[in-house]
C-alpha cells in the first residue's frame, strides 16, 4: 500500500525552528493539495472537520501535526519496556479495536516530533541513571512510527543512537511494511523490530487501511535478513468461529517463512482482546456497524496501570487461549520465547 499522505498539516510555531520542521514546512507548503497552517501548540488542535464522529475520525486520520516534544519525564511502558520513547502519536491505520480509542478520543490526529536529538538525549539520561542495568525503550506505545518514517527519519536516528548504547535497547512494533530505509543502517543488534500480526480474518474485518498479512511477513523476512532481532505481537487475539485453526495456520506460515531466516530467536507478545468503557463508547460512535465482541456480561474486569478498568475475556477463556499459544510456539517455533501473555 502507498505511504501516508496527509490532507492537512498543522505546524506548531516552534517546530519550524528545527531542521526537520523547516524541511517539512517547505515540502508541504509547495503542495497545492495539502492544507498547511501554523498553530500555537501541538496539544491544542482545533478545526478538524467532520459533521459526525465517523467523518471526524476519517479527517483526523488525514491530519498531521508537527510539534516539539517539551521536556518532562517519559512514561513507563509495562510490560514491554521500562520507558516509552515518544516519537509520534497515532497512525494512519483505522483499526476498530485500537486501544488508543481510550486515550486519543474520536479525532486521533497524527503527531510527529521534530526534536529527535533532544528526545534521545533524554533517553541517554535514563540509561545513565539505571547503570549498570540495561534500560529498554518502546518506540510504538502510542503510535506506529514506521508509518511516518518516510517523513521523519526518526526511527533511523533512534536505531543509530541505540547502536552506540551498551546499556540501552530499543524496540518498536508496526503493521506497516516500508522497511527498506532501515535495512542497511548500523543497529548493533540493539533494536528489536517487531511486527503486529493476526489472522487474515481479523486483519480484513477490523484492521482497515493496513497492509495484508503476507506483506507484513515479507517485510519481516527482510528485517530478519538484515540481522535485526525480530519479534511479533499477536494481538488482539479474538475468539471467533474457527479461530484456533486460523491461528495455527498463522504459526505454520511463520515456521515456513521465518524460522530459517531469523539469526536470533523470535519473541512473541500475546495480547488478548480487551477494551475500556470509554473505548467502547468511542468505537460505537466511530464504527456503529462493528461487531467486535464487547458484551460486558461475558467479560472479567481488570484495573489497568493508567487507571482504566479493562474488560477481558473470562478467566477460563484466558487460560485456554494461553495454553493454545504456548502449544503453538512450542510445536512450530520451539526456539522462540513468549515474552508475556495478557
Query: Residue 167 pLDDT more than 70?
Result: yes
The CATH number covering residue 91 comes to 3.80.30.30
Give the pLDDT confidence of 304-329 residue by residue, as tens digits.
Answer: 666 679 999 999 999 999 999 999 99
Rg, Å, the chain Cα set:
20
pLDDT of residue 2: 81
Give the pLDDT confidence of 69-124 residue by residue, as tens digits.
Answer: 987 899 999 888 999 999 999 999 999 999 888 888 889 999 999 999 999 999 99
Q: Nearest-5° angle of CA 158, CA 145, CA 92?
A: 165
Pick the closest to residue 144 from 202, 80, 92 (CA basis). 92
pLDDT band at 264; cut points 50, 70, 90: confident
Q: What percent of the chain stands above pLDDT 70?
A: 99
Mean pLDDT of 246-257: 95
2 within domain boundaries: no
112 within domain boundaries: yes
H or E stretch covering 281: helix 277-286
Measured between alpha carbons, how far is 120 from 139 in angstroms, rounded to an integer? 11
Give the pLDDT confidence of 208-243 residue by residue, as tens digits.
Answer: 999 999 999 999 999 999 999 999 999 999 999 999
Pick the closest to residue 230 from 202, 199, 254 (CA basis). 254
pLDDT of residue 303: 82
Torsion on CA atoms 205, 207, 210, 215, rounded to nearest 10 = -60
234 within domain boundaries: yes
The count of domains in the chain is 1
Coil/strand/helix, residue 189: coil
Whole-model pTM: value is: 0.94
33 within domain boundaries: yes
pLDDT of residue 263: 81
pLDDT of residue 305: 62
* Residue 83: strand pairing partners: 76, 137
Query: Residue 26 pLDDT more than 70?
Result: yes
Mean pLDDT of 179-188: 97
Cell numbers standing for residue 200: 487474515
Give the pLDDT confidence of 38-69 residue by residue, as tens digits.
Answer: 998 777 788 899 899 999 999 999 999 999 99
Domain housing 49: 8-341
pLDDT band at 181; cut points 50, 70, 90: very high
Q: Nearest-5° angle of CA 166, CA 170, CA 172?
A: 170
Mean pLDDT of 240-268: 92
273 within domain boundaries: yes
pLDDT band at 1; cut points 50, 70, 90: confident
- Pairing mode of beta strands 8-12, 35-39: parallel
280 within domain boundaries: yes
1 within domain boundaries: no
Find the distance separating the first CA and the last CA of the chain, reported in whole Å.
31
pLDDT of residue 289: 95
325 within domain boundaries: yes
Query: Residue 293 pLDDT more than 70?
Result: yes
Amino acid at each position: 500500500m502507498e505511504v501516508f499522505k496527509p490532507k492537512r498539516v498543522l505546524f506548531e510555531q516552534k517546530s519550524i525552528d528545527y531542521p526537520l520542521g523547516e524541511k517539512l514546512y517547505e515540502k508541504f507548503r509547495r503542495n497545492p493539495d495539502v492544507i498547511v497552517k501554523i498553530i500555537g501548540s501541538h496539544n491544542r488542535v482545533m478545526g478538524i472537520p467532520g459533521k459526525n464522529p465517523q467523518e471526524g475520525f476519517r479527517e483526523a486520520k488525514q491530519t498531521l501535526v508537527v510539534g516539539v516534544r517539551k521536556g518532562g519525564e517519559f512514561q513507563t511502558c509495562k510490560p514491554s519496556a521500562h520507558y516509552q520513547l515518544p516519537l509520534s502519536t497515532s497512525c494512519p491505520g483505522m483499526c476498530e479495536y485500537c486501544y488508543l480509542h481510550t486515550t486519543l478520543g474520536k479525532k486521533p490526529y497524527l503527531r510527529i516530533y521534530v526534536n529527535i536529538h533532544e528526545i534521545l538525549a533524554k533517553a541517554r539520561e535514563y540509561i545513565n541513571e539505571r547503570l549498570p542495568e540495561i534500560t529498554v525503550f518502546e518506540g510504538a506505545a502510542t503510535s506506529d512510527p514506521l508509518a511516518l518514517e518516510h517523513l521523519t527519519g526518526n526511527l533511523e536516528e533512534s536505531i543509530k543512537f541505540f547502536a552506540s548504547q551498551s546499556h540501552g535497547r530499543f524496540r518498536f512494533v508496526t503493521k506497516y511494511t516500508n522497511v527498506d530505509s532501515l535495512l542497511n543502517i548500523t543497529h548493533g543488534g540493539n533494536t528489536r523490530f517487531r511486527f503486529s500480526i493476526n489472522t487474515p480474518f481479523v486483519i480484513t474485518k477490523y484492521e482497515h487501511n493496513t497492509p495484508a498479512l503476507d506483506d507484513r511477513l515479507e517485510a519481516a523476512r527482510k528485517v530478519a535478513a538484515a540481522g535485526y532481532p525480530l519479534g511479533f505481537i499477536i494481538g488482539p487475539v479474538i475468539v471467533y468461529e474457527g479461530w484456533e485453526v486460523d491461528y495455527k495456520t498463522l504459526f505454520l506460515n511463520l515456521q515456513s517463512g521465518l524460522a530459517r531466516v531469523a539469526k536470533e530467536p523470535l519473541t512473541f507478545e500475546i495480547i488478548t482482546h480487551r477494551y475500556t468503557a470509554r473505548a467502547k463508547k468511542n468505537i460505537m460512535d466511530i464504527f456503529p456497524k462493528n461487531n467486535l465482541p464487547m458484551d460486558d456480561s461475558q467479560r472479567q474486569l481488570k484495573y489497568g496501570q493508567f487507571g482504566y478498568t479493562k474488560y477481558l475475556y473470562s478467566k477460563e477463556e484466558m487460560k485456554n487461549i494461553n495454553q493454545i499459544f504456548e502449544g503453538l510456539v512450542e510445536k512450530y517455533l520451539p526456539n522462540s520465547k513468549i515474552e508475556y501473555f495478557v
